[in-house]
Structure 1
Amino acid sequence: MRKISKWLAGSTLILLASACSEERVSTELELAQQTSDVIQVTNHDGQPFSTQPESTDIRGSFTAGPGGGVMMQGFYWDVPSGGTWWNTVQSKVTDWSNAGVQAIWLPPASKAQNGPFSMGYDPTDYFDFGDFNQNGTIETRFGSRTELEALISAAHAENMEVYADIVLNHNSGGQLEANQYTGTNTYTDYTGVASGKFPRSQHDFHPNWVHSNDLGYFGGFPDLCHDVPYVQDWLWNRSDGVAKYYKNVMGFDGWRFDYVKGFEPWVVSAWNNAVGGFSVGELWDSNVDYLNWWANEANSSVFDFAAYYKMNDAFDGNNLNVLNDDMMWKRNSYKAVTFVTNHDTDEISKKMLAYAYILTHEGFPTVFYRDYEEWLDKNKLNNLIWIHNNKATGNTSILYTDNDEYIARRNGYNGNPGLIVYINNSNSWLERWVPTNWYSTQIKDFTGHSGWYPTTQSGGWVKIQCPPNSYSVWSPNI
């Protein structure tokens, strides 16, 4: 009787513990359901971002994953000089392609005023890619024309797109001439450019016979006037002009437009209408209304500086509630190019949290060369790129935010189940019940940061966890 009583007592304790555990889980879930306030932040059919109309690649060969592709910024400020950069990038394209990178953004490729030391943003001759002895050098800082063409060909062989950085606002490196519009001598004589293509003079810059200025000068450089028909012809209308030469002869697939605050958005729209290809503008402004207006007027994507500044405020300012604020990817996800840093700005310190954010959310995410190749954990970035391309599908719902936590759901598209991303900006492990779109389904963390394999309840609710100062990404275990 004593043994049986002991066994019965032990069984009773087990049953009581089990009942208490079930009661605690039930109470936790009930509380979570009562306090759940899912916010739908995008409303559309869920198609992934595409760099081409109707999801058609220029060559019809690149196949993005269900979530779309990723762009690599293939340079940083002051890459090594000496004409080696094109070869350096070419050596990376196979690995980048294997990692899931869809496109490479290159720096301005033509000869600039500072010759062998220029990063290209002071353009002199749009048609000198390192094949003319001009501005003290034959090669550009990055290499020769032959090496550039080999890089583009290598990227195309890997089914990757290549985007040219285009500086349309200003020129540099012209000769002095007497300027009838200013009554002074100005460096606006580009009639002697070595390529012989697009010779320019005072009549093609501000002030001139059309008007005295457009939206903005940059750095005191001569400011191109896009209202001059001759300038329009050479930039995008002529079959041998800049746009069509870059696309049809050099093989560029798209465009990153520099400093678009300096001229009207119709310029980019006219360029895109004439030559096609993906385009994104550098509109350095956090105002979402402005970003969205410009993108629509220019018929172009735009870098999501609003998201950039919000991520900095959220992750480094220790307030993830900020991620509820408006951003370009929420307002117009098909025209938003997201980024964590670039060659001009590098303010976010908690970069892996920021990459977890942009690579699980909508828009076209950009990975910065030095983050990928030098500064961060490449394996973790490759994992997030894979998650983006294969799991980050559908429109977006924010499930929970506070100072330390951010949880959002991608709702899936075309049979792909989507994901739930959990970002933890605290120093402790965190857990939370969340509503999913998956019912009685085992899920897992595709980052490997959590070893849990929970099964969602019949109503879709499930408890997930996230390690300190890190992230987890959950989706059905299939």
Structure 2
Amino acid sequence: MSQFRYWLDRLLLRWVPPSLPAMQLGPEGSSQNPTMIQFFTWDAHTPDMSWWEHFEKQVLPLVALGFTQVWLPPPHKAMVPKGCGYDAYDLWDLGEFNQKGTVATRWGTKEELLRACDAAKQCNLNVIIDAVLNHKLGADRTETFRAVRVDPLNRLKDIESERHVKGWTAFDFPGRLGKYSSMQWNFNHFTGLDWDELTRTNGIFRISSERHEGWSKWVDTENGNYDYLLGIDIDHRHPEVRKDLFAWGSWVLETTGACGFRLDAIKHMDRRFLLEFIKKCRNQTGRKQTFAVSEYWSANLQLLIPYVRAFQGQQTSFFDVPLHENFHRASKAGASYDLRTILDGSLVKLRPGDAVTFVDNHDTQVGQSLESWVDINFKSQAYALILLRCHGYPCVFYGDLYPNDECYDEDTSRTLKQLLLARKSFAYGPMVDYFEHRNCIGFVRMGDSDHAGCAVVLSNDPMLDLSTCKIRMNVGSHLGTTFRSFFDGSRTIAIDRDGWGVFPSSVDGVEVWIENREIK
């Protein structure tokens, strides 16, 4: 993309309203800071109960920590019994029908899901559905049709002549027998596939049979055209496809009582379809504040901005992948990373009203497709930056909070719980930054009529002399008081009559200071 186009897009964003203020992020009428959690890891499991039962038991603890929304894993039937749902087979089967060798999904039965969603609703904890609308896997039959093999690095370039292929493209859903939806899918509903059963060869094949229009033009331009990602790629221009997916969107919200969607892999889907999908779900359910957050995976803000514009404001927020990449780089660079630049190039800095901020997720875990794990040397600092600042809407990762076999660190979890409570109780009001030192930065939340505010100091150099590495910050109306560490109440700071105090960090790299009301 040209630099001129980039700056033009940025200029035009001024007339695009932000999305988050128009969405429901927590209980209606609540003044509490909204906070979301991704409630699963890639290999998430529990030994003695289903995942939905585990979620139900955690509703009250999640509310106590200040969470207002929960992003659940894809609830539909996958292609294999232990499939996490990104290998989507049948969106209309939430663990109700005997398909693919199981009634329950990997996460549990439909009954367990609905019971957990109801428990969350009773506690004003909103549920977010992970919508996997880009592709299908696990077809029931093969079909023979014409297709063209294309260059994986340039999907607009054919590398073979058109020929017949046999693909796993027929989805009959024999266990569901037409309940909820009578649509059965065939090769006419797809644009591409990656396996030819006829020659038993891998590749990316564009379906070219009669009535096929080729790849959608309204997708990301990476690899020439990034319509195809994996599996059997859905054609979102087909009238029957559109009708079925629009109906499913409204149905799954009504069935589960969920308040919105996490939209998977949007750079590979027709933007016009997605925009209409969001609008129809809001109109048909009568929920104008239905939440939506989209996964457009690129650390390049320049590539993300056109998508923010394309969704016209108020339609979807976006995960701030550029900010995550900054966190990842900071954790790898250690003390050589300049903390004053930690927000540079991020969505939350440019468009805070569209940014869902996060530190890690299931895809960034070690060994996964988008591996970019934020190491423990910067994990707590990153969470402080998304949880205690006033910009963006933070999403916490289950793997950082709950014990698990994949990525759990006990010290990180302990600090994260304290940061969540600090967000819930203190991180309110206007914010003033003190990004003055390369390895030590701070900011102050001034508080509001109901919350006292806090001061935050972050550092990324374990060799810093904490007796000299301090930041002078003004805490506003707390004149002549004393502040104490939220983590260690024995540490105190005197505030002078003009509201200034000199605040050190801690050996862990994160310190939160609050007014010591007991001393006052």
2:186 pairs with one of 201, 221, 237? 201
Give the CA deviation at 1:332: 1.3
| Matching of residue 262 in structure 1 with residue 271 in structure 2 | no
Over residues 311-366 of structure 1, what are the superposed CA-to-partner deviations in whole Å (9 max), with x where a residue is unaligned?
12224312123315131111111221111111111311121222122111221111
- What is the deviation of 1:422? 0.5
Q: Which has more helix, going by share of residues?
A: 1
Task: Give 1:17's aligned residue.
Answer: none
Where does 1:6-405 land on structure 2 (aligned, <5 Å)? 53=22, 60=28, 63-65=30-32, 68-80=33-45, 84-114=50-80, 116-174=81-139, 175-180=141-146, 183-192=164-173, 194-195=175-176, 196=178, 197=181, 198-206=183-191, 207=207, 209-214=211-216, 215=219, 216-217=226-227, 220-236=230-246, 241-276=247-282, 277-298=290-311, 299-317=315-333, 318=335, 319=337, 320-346=339-365, 347-349=373-375, 350=377, 351-361=379-389, 362-374=391-403, 375=408, 376-377=410-411, 378-394=413-429, 396-405=431-440
2:457 maps to: 422
Q: Which amino acid aligns with 1:109?
A: P
Ranked by relative contact order (alpha carbons within 8 Å, sequence separation 6 or more), the top structure is 1
Gaps of 5+ in 1: 1-48
SS in 2 for 1:91: helix
Contact 1:303–1:339 (CA<8 Å) still a contact in 2?
yes
Offset, 1:308: 0.7
Task: Give the aligned partner of residue 433 of structure 1.
Answer: 472
Deviation at 1:443, TM superposition (A): 4.7
TM-score norm. by structure 2 comes to 0.75
Identify which range, 297-306 or 263-272, moves more after superposition. 263-272
Question: Whole-Å Cα distance in 2 between the matches of residues 54 and 117 of structure 1?
Answer: 33
Higher CA-based Rg: 1
**Counterpart Cα distance in 1 of 2:40 and 2:23:** 29
**1:188–1:64: structure 2 CA closer, same or farther, 3 Å change rule?**
farther
Kindly tell me the number of residue pairs found equivalent between the two proteins: 421
- Residue 410 of structure 1 and its aligned partner are, at CA, apart by 3.6
As a proportion of its length, which structure holds more strand? 2
**Does the residue aligned with 2:54 lie in a helix, a strand or coil?**
helix
Deviation per CA, 1:232-287: give whole Å up to 9, x if none: 21112xxxx21011111222211111111111333332222111311111111112
Shift of 1:161: 0.6
2:7 corresponds in structure 1 to none
What amino acid sits opposite 2:188 in the alignment? H
RMSD over equivalenced CA pairs, Å: 2.6
Distance 1:297 1:469 in 2: 42
> Matched residues in 2 for 1:80 and 1:234: separation?
31
Q: Gaps (5+ residues) in structure 2?
A: 1-17, 149-163, 192-206, 220-225, 283-289, 366-372
For 1:405 and 1:189, the matched residues in 2 are separated by: 58
Matched-pair contact (CA < 8 Å) for 2:474–2:501: yes
**SS of the counterpart of 1:279?**
strand
Deviations 1:129-178 (A, max 9, x none): 11111111111111111111111111111110111111111111122112
CA distance in 2, matches of 1:336, 1:155: 25
Give me the identity figure in percent.
Answer: 25
